[in-house]
Chain A
Amino acid sequence: MSTKIFKHIQTSVVPLPIENIDTDQIIPARFLKATTREGFGNNLFRDWRFDNDGNPKEDFVLNEPKYSGKILVAGKNFGCGSSREHAAWAIADYGFDAVVSSFFADIFKGNALNNGLLPVQVSDDFLKRIFEVVDADPHTVIEIDLVDQFIKIVATGEQESFEVNPYKKACMTNGYDDIDYILSKKELVVEFEGRG
């Protein structure tokens, strides 16, 4: 089954300079009751974004009109906590194509990659630079190229390369997934079971 294809994007960004953002903040447990993958974007960062009566909190980045774009830039250790894939679904469903941070929690990283959402790990210094530049100009454009594995602040030309598992890169740039791959090796699985 094909997933979304990702090769290259160039867009403004939404900055969230908070560290250790856990999956309970990305999507609180009480919103995990849906049985489909759609619609989680409405509750992305629910308790930071809305007050108890459901009114948008003005000072939260997603509610600030000056910020928009398809890249979320967040502080270190993004996505720690629960294995809920709903976190990746919520971010993608809201309209983000990539998340940039200086460190990602393992399970989140895997979940994101399985959903065509690219986690881009940059150095602490580069992350700091993005926050500074975006702070000075909220319309700053960032370019992410998965094929050549670099991220660039377009206006200043500052850029850095990033790592991505070659297999996962092939999946994302071609739109195929893990199940397709394992199914193509099914006879090996059956043979393994026979080894007992």
Chain B
Amino acid sequence: MGQTLFDKIWDAHVVSSNEGFPDILYIDTHFIHEVTSPQAFDGLRLRGLPVFRPQQTVATADHNVPTWDQHLPIKEELSRYQVDMLTKNCAEFGIELYGLGHPFQGIVHVIGPELGITRPGSTYVCGDSHTSTHGAFGAIAFGIGTSQVEQVMATQCLLQSRPKRMKIEVNGKLQKGVGAKDIILYIIAQISAAGGTGYAVEYAGDTIRSLSMEGRMTICNMSIEMGARCGLIAPDETTINYVKGREFAPKGEEWDKAVAYWQTLYSDEDADFDSVLSFKAEDIEPMITYGTNPGMGIGVTQHVPETASFEQKEQGSYKKALNYMGLHDDQQLLGKPIDYVFIGSCTNSRIEDLREVAQFVKGKHKADNVIVWVVPGSKQVQEQAIREGLDKIFDAAGFPLREPGCSACLGMNEDKIPAGKYCVSTSNRNFEGRQGPNSRTFLASPLTAAASAITGVVTDIREFLKEEELV
């Protein structure tokens, strides 16, 4: 019987496996940030332990940092305290920190890949659920809680039971204007926000293969939104070319050895998955969510479902969600006025996302009723955007390019969507209050978000693209 990609990597990292116990899994790199680490450092102090492998630990400040005037001290006292704590803890325990002002600073799931730290065949964890992003390279990567952050700091290992394996295939040609974000929102809408719970999900099929690394990261990033432990995609030429030459990528002989290994990382043809799902690329429209979990998504031209279409016991939760969103049964979102557009987060803030948006908005201007924030995923993305002149295009369009951080993805800094306002957001969660108390989120792709910013209402990007083809 052949092996899945997931099992090949898992087996190569098992330190010890004992009947009745979870496996002890070796972690190659541990990413940490300011919000979920302070209690873990305290735990180490209480136990009198050092960080076992500080050189395999990478720290950055991203979750609560301001995205404007980053060179000034952080105004908000508690955020400043948390960032200061991280600096102090990293110094005390000998961990490299890419803090504010460092050229490598940025959202943890953006900097790992762009620095060549994220590579095929390795294991990554971080106290953040979107760690699944790194799986796009053919790696095992998942989010952990703070007790586990402490565990990995203390031992470079994690106690984990092996999850079940699911394969999700997408084949066929995508419609114009439909991208990676739409694919993953579509899959989650099909299988629900809990549909992947307990599974490691491998994405496969020719549509997935045709995606850039950025697109693959967008897909794996949102694996957690269907409840999956992690998501991964077998490495190929696209992966290898992306990693090659990056800051911390292996060089010379090491590189050749690494590539030879990476080429063995795929699911064998007769590998056994616990579940296999297939979708057709042609069926996927530009997607938008209407509710308060990422599984509540529809094609942008479709109507919000009727309460009666749900089972009795689910109707209460459904009504509560629609009520929160200020929507009603059977409503069409297309044409609905919006207040904010947020382009950013570890789902869609990479240079490719910004290029795509810039190309589309060039020569256009945002609608008066909309405030737009473009927040790059990292310092390097920001500088690259400036080098390419994207900031000028954005400025002219009324889309100011801010400084890197998580920003309105979770509203821990000042970037909050006000109560009752609608935001078309390229981030990954539309939970109640996620972007600020009582804020209302429509999750969508960068192109849908940009088009909606231009018109001021929820917009079908395909209509724009059709018109542009005509001129």
Q: B-contacting residues of A (Cβ < 8 Å)?
A: 1, 17-20, 22, 24-25, 28-30, 32-37, 47, 52, 75-77, 80-86, 88, 103, 105-107, 110-111, 114-115, 124, 128, 165-167, 177-179, 181-183, 185-186, 188-189, 192-193
CB <8 Å contact, B129 and A81: yes
Q: A103-B194, A178-B147 are in contact. Are A81 and B431 (CB under 8 A)?
A: yes
Closest to B412 in A: A29
- Residues of B with C-beta under 8 A to A106: 197-198, 227, 229
* Docked pose: A81 CA to B145 CA in angstroms: 12
- Give the residue of B20, B36, B293 whose beta carbon is less than 8 angstroms from that of A83: B36
- Give the residue of B26, B128, B150 whose beta carbon is less than 8 angstroms from that of A192: B26
CB <8 Å contact, A183 and B154: yes
* Docked pose: A1 CA to B314 CA in angstroms: 42
CB <8 Å contact, A80 and B20: no
Q: A77-B194, A81-B129, A189-B155 are in contact. Are A32 and B15 (CB under 8 A)?
A: no
CB <8 Å contact, A110 and B193: no
CB <8 Å contact, B144 and A83: yes
Does B268 lie at the interface of the complex (its beta carbon under 8 Å from any beta carbon of A)? no
Does B466 lie at the interface of the complex (its beta carbon under 8 Å from any beta carbon of A)? no
Q: A29-B411, A189-B157 are in contact. Are A17 and B148 (CB under 8 A)?
A: no
- Give the residue of A18, A85, A166 whose beta carbon is less than 8 angstroms from that of B146: A85
CB <8 Å contact, A179 and B144: no
CB <8 Å contact, B35 and A20: no
B349-365 residues with Cβ-Cβ distance < 8 A to A are none
| CB-CB nearest 7 A-B residue pairs | A85-B145, A33-B78, A111-B145, A35-B38, A83-B143, A114-B147, A83-B129
CB <8 Å contact, A81 and B429: yes
CB <8 Å contact, A185 and B16: yes
CB <8 Å contact, A28 and B15: no
* Docked pose: A124 CA to B182 CA in angstroms: 32
- Residues of B with C-beta under 8 A to A107: 129, 143-145, 224
Does B39 lie at the interface of the complex (its beta carbon under 8 Å from any beta carbon of A)? yes
CB <8 Å contact, B194 and A20: yes
CB <8 Å contact, A33 and B293: no
- Residues of A with C-beta under 8 A to B81: 33, 35
Interface centre among A1, A18, A178 (most CB of B within 10 A): A178
B267-314 residues with Cβ-Cβ distance < 8 A to A are 292-293, 313-314
CB <8 Å contact, B412 and A179: no
* Docked pose: A42 CA to B467 CA in angstroms: 54
CB <8 Å contact, A188 and B147: no
B430-450 residues with Cβ-Cβ distance < 8 A to A are 431-434, 437-438
CB <8 Å contact, A88 and B145: yes
Please, how many residues of chain B have a CB less than 8 angstroms from a CB on the other chain? 65
Q: A107-B143, A110-B148, A179-B154 are in contact. Are A185 and B24 (CB under 8 A)?
A: yes
Closest to A18 in B: B317
Can you list 17 contacts pairing A with B, beta carbon distance less than 8 Å?
A20-B194, A33-B78, A33-B79, A35-B82, A35-B85, A37-B39, A77-B194, A80-B293, A83-B128, A85-B127, A85-B145, A106-B197, A106-B227, A110-B148, A111-B145, A166-B20, A177-B147
- Residues of B with C-beta under 8 A to A105: 194, 197, 227
- Residues of B with C-beta under 8 A to A88: 145
Closest to A104 in B: B197
B143-178 residues with Cβ-Cβ distance < 8 A to A are 143-148, 150-151, 154-157, 159, 161
CB <8 Å contact, A189 and B24: yes
CB <8 Å contact, B193 and A80: yes
- Residues of A with C-beta under 8 A to B154: 179, 182-183
Does B22 lie at the interface of the complex (its beta carbon under 8 Å from any beta carbon of A)? yes
Closest to B85 in A: A35
B177-230 residues with Cβ-Cβ distance < 8 A to A are 193-194, 197-198, 224, 227, 229
CB <8 Å contact, B24 and A77: no
Does B419 lie at the interface of the complex (its beta carbon under 8 Å from any beta carbon of A)? yes
- Give the residue of A30, A77, A111, A178 whose beta carbon is less than 8 angstroms from that of B412: A30
Interface centre among A35, A47, A185 (most CB of B within 10 A): A35
Closest to B437 in A: A47
Does B326 lie at the interface of the complex (its beta carbon under 8 Å from any beta carbon of A)? no
Q: A20-B193, A29-B411 are in contact. Are A186 and B145 (CB under 8 A)?
A: no
* Docked pose: A35 CA to B161 CA in angstroms: 29
CB <8 Å contact, A84 and B145: yes
* Docked pose: A190 CA to B43 CA in angstroms: 22
A41 to chain B, nearest CB (A): 15
* Docked pose: A145 CA to B12 CA in angstroms: 38
CB <8 Å contact, A179 and B151: yes
- Residues of A with C-beta under 8 A to B85: 35
A183 to chain B, nearest CB (A): 7
Does B94 lie at the interface of the complex (its beta carbon under 8 Å from any beta carbon of A)? no
B9 to chain A, nearest CB (A): 15
Does B387 lie at the interface of the complex (its beta carbon under 8 Å from any beta carbon of A)? no
- Residues of B with C-beta under 8 A to A189: 15, 24, 26, 155-157
Does B47 lie at the interface of the complex (its beta carbon under 8 Å from any beta carbon of A)? yes
* Docked pose: A115 CA to B21 CA in angstroms: 18
Q: A18-B317, A22-B431, A35-B38 are in contact. Are A111 and B147 (CB under 8 A)?
A: yes
